[in-house]
Amino acid sequence: MPIFDYQCSKCGHTFEAIQKISDSVLTDCPECGESMLKKMVSAPSFRLKGGGWYETDFKGGNKKKDEKKKESSSPKSSHSCAGGGCACK
């Protein structure tokens, strides 16, 4: 279940509440008893990972892996044609 942050507009008391998404918004402050609670915006505590997500989602530290794959797939020549004795002419 998600954790929601609340703050009382009257006394300034802040707290967290574990609630279902379908639960109604809390209104009564547990500190002063007034119906002045506001739900605050907070960062989610989860990250979407795993199969089924686009490759560009959460793109980060995998750039080096992609570059290494490109380098290893391209053929590399280990000789130089300088010197006149090369058979590739």
CA atoms within 13 A on the CB side of 18: 2
Mean pLDDT of 73-77: 55
pLDDT digits (tens, 9 = 90+) for 32-71: 999 999 999 877 766 667 666 666 655 665 555 555 555 5
Cβ-contact 40, 50 below 8 angstroms: no
* Domains along the sequence of the chain with CATH: 3-40 (2.20.28.10)
